[in-house]
Amino acid sequence: MRLRLAGAVLLSAAAYYVYLPLPSGVCEPWKLMLLDALFRSFMKASDVAHALGMCHRVHLLNKVVSWVEVVEARSCSTVHVTDTQLGGVPTRVFQPKNGKKLKRGVLYFHGGGWALGSGRMRSYDHLCRKMAEDLDAVIMSVDYRLAPEAVFPDQYHDALAASRAFLSAEVLQRYSVDPERVCVSGDSAGGNLAAGVAQELGSDETLKVKFKAQALIYPVLQALDFYTPSYQQNQAVPILYRPIMARFWLQYLGADPSMEPILLANNHSSLDQLGVSATTRSKLNWTSLLPAERRKNFQPVFKDTGSPDVVAKVPALMDVRAAPLLAEQGTLGRTPKAYVMTCEFDVLRDDGLMYARRLQDAGVAVTSDHYEDGFHGCMVFAYLPMMSNVGWRSMNNYIHWLDRNL
Ligand SMILES: *[C@@H]1O[C@H](CO)[C@@H](O)[C@H](O)[C@H]1NC(C)=O
Ligand SMILES: *[C@@H]1O[C@H](CO)[C@@H](O)[C@H](O)[C@H]1NC(C)=O
C-alpha cells in the first residue's frame, strides 16, 4: 500500500515535471514534452555546475552529449564511414559501398547554437548514413569549432575552409564525387553556416566548382528582431525557448552575456540605433516579407529609443556572415537553388520564411517546405524512439528533394 502510494506520488511528480501546456496542433505533444524534460534537466544541471564555478555550462552539456551521443565511425554493409579532415576541419565521411561510380555529394553542418553537438552524434550519424544510402551520395559531416572557446567568425571560417576543400578537384576526385552535383546543407545553426557559405562561394568568381543546391533546415538567420511573429508566438514552445536563442547569439558573437535582456527587448535595434539603416531594416521587415497567415495579429516591436550603441559594441550583429538574412539582393541572386524547411512551432520559423521570400525575390528557385505541426529540432534532435511523425516526414521530404534536385 505504502509502496503504491509512493509510486503514485513519484509518477505524478514526474508527470508534473514533464507536463507542459503546448499549443494545439503540435505533432505528438507527449514526445516533445519528454524531449523537453530531458533538455530542461540537462540545462538545469549545467546551470548549477556553471553557477558553482565547476565548469562552463556548455562544457558540461557537451560532455554529456559526447558521452551519451557520440558514436565511433563504424562502417556497415552498405556505407563506408571514416573520420578525416577537410580543409583542416575534423569531418566524418559517409561513402556508399555500391551504386554508381561517380556520386553526388552533400556537405553537412550540424546544429546546436554554434556551441553544442557534433557531426559524430548518433542522430547525425543516422541522418547522414540514411542520406548516403537513399541518395547513393557521399555525405561529409563537419565538426567546426564551438563556442565559447571559438566565437564568430571561427565557426564561419571553419565552415568555409571545409567547403573550399570539399569543392577542390583533389577531394572530389578522391571520393569520386560529381562536381556538377554537390550541395551544402545544415540545420539550425548549421543552416546558418550553410547559408553563409552559399553566399560567399556563390559570389566567388575564382571557383571552378560551385554548389548546385543549398538545403537549409530551420535555419537561424538574423539577430536584430526577437519579436518576429514566430518569436512572439513560440517564445515558450520547447525546445528552443526565446531567451535560449538570444543567449546562443550573444555567445556566438563573443558579446557580454549580460546583454540578453537588451536583445529580448529589441533595444539593440531600436530606431535610434544609428548603425541599423533603413535598408538593413527592410531586409527583415516581416510586415512586408511574411504572408498575412503567418503575421496573424502580431505587431512589430521597434522602440524609438533603446540601449545606446549596442550595434557599435557588437558589430557582428550587422555582419552578413553571421546573419545571412542581411545580405544584398545581388548576393542572394548568385546563390544556388534552395530548399528551406520551416516549422510552425519554432521561434526561427520567420527567419526561414523571410529568407525563402528574399531568395525568391532575388530570382533563386526556392522550395519552401513548411510543417504546420513541426517544432524546432524535429528532423534531427528527436531521433529514433523519440522521433515524431513530423520528424520522419520532414526527413523523407528533405531527402526526396535532394534526390530530385541534385
Ligand atoms: C516595413 O514595411 C511596411 C510595409 O511596406 C512599412 O509600412 C514599414 O514602415 C516598414 N517598417 C520598417 C521598420 O522599415
Ligand atoms: C530598453 O530601452 C529603454 C529606453 O531607453 C529603457 O528604458 C529600458 O530599460 C531598456 N531595457 C533594457 C532591458 O535594457
**How far apart are the CA of 285 and the centre of ligand 1, in A?**
6
Per-residue pLDDT at 2 exceeds 90: no
Average pLDDT, the chain: 93
Q: Which of 36, 178, 187, 346 is catalytic?
A: 346
**Mean pLDDT for the stretch of residues 224-239:** 96
Ligand with smallest separation from the Cα of 271: 1
Q: Would you say residue 389 lies in a domain?
A: yes
Q: Would you say residue 148 lies in a domain?
A: yes
Instruction: Place 6 in a pLDDT band, splitting at 50, 70 and 90.
Output: low
Substitution site in 259, 263, 267, 270 for ligand 2 pocket (most atoms within 8 Å of beta carbon): 267
Helices (H), 176-296: 189-202, 229-233, 242-252, 260-264, 278-283, 286-289, 292-295
Sheet holding 89-96, edge to edge: 79-86, 89-96, 137-142, 103-109, 177-187, 213-217, 337-345, 366-375
**C-alpha angle with apex 401: 398 to 402, nearest 5 degrees?**
90
Condensed to tens digits (0 to 9), the pLDDT of residues 308-352 reads 889 999 999 999 999 999 999 999 999 999 999 999 999 999 999
Q: Would you say residue 157 lies in a domain?
A: yes
Task: Identify the weakest region by mean pLDDT among 33-47, 175-189, 263-277, 310-324.
Answer: 33-47
Instruction: Place 393 in a pLDDT band, splitting at 50, 70 and 90.
Output: very high
**How far apart are the CA of 307 and the centre of ligand 2, in A?**
6
Q: Does ligand 1 have an atom closer than 6 angstroms to the CB of 285?
A: yes
Q: Would you say residue 260 lies in a domain?
A: no
Domain of residue 95, CATH code: 3.40.50.1820
β-pairing, 137-142 vs 89-96, is antiparallel
**How far apart are the CA of 309 and the centre of ligand 2, in A?**
12
**How far apart are the CA of 285 and the centre of ligand 2, in A?**
22
Please tell me whether the peptide bond between 153 and the residue prior to it is cis, using omega within 30 degrees of 0.
yes
Instruction: Place 240 in a pLDDT band, splitting at 50, 70 and 90.
Output: very high
Count other C-beta atoms under 10 Å from residue 62's C-beta.
20
For atom 13 of ligand 1, which residue has the closest CA? 281
Give 3-state DSSP helix, strand, coil % of the chain, rounded to 5.
Answer: 45, 15, 35
Q: Which of 163, 188, 270, 394 is catalytic?
A: 188
CA distance 55 to 220: 27
Residue with cell 541518395: 135
Condensed to tens digits (0 to 9), the pLDDT of residues 97-155 reads 999 999 999 999 999 999 999 999 999 999 999 999 999 999 999 999 999 999 999 99
Domain count within the chain: 1
Q: Would you say residue 265 lies in a domain?
A: no
Select the more confidently predicted residue: 388 or 221.
Answer: 221
Contact status, residue 239 vs residue 377, Cβ threshold 8 Å = yes
Model pLDDT, residue 69:
81
Model pLDDT, residue 10:
58
Q: Would you say residue 284 lies in a domain?
A: no
* Best CA proximity match to 62, nearest among 18, 120, 109, 17: 120
DSSP state of 271: T
346 flagged as catalytic: yes
Contact status, residue 170 vs residue 139, Cβ threshold 8 Å = no
Ligand with smallest separation from the Cα of 301: 1
Q: Would you say residue 311 lies in a domain?
A: no
Please tell me whether the peptide bond between 399 and the residue prior to it is cis, using omega within 30 degrees of 0.
no
- Domain encompassing residue 175: 69-223+323-405
Q: Would you say residue 60 lies in a domain?
A: no
| Cα torsion through 87, 120, 199, 165, rounded to 10 | 20
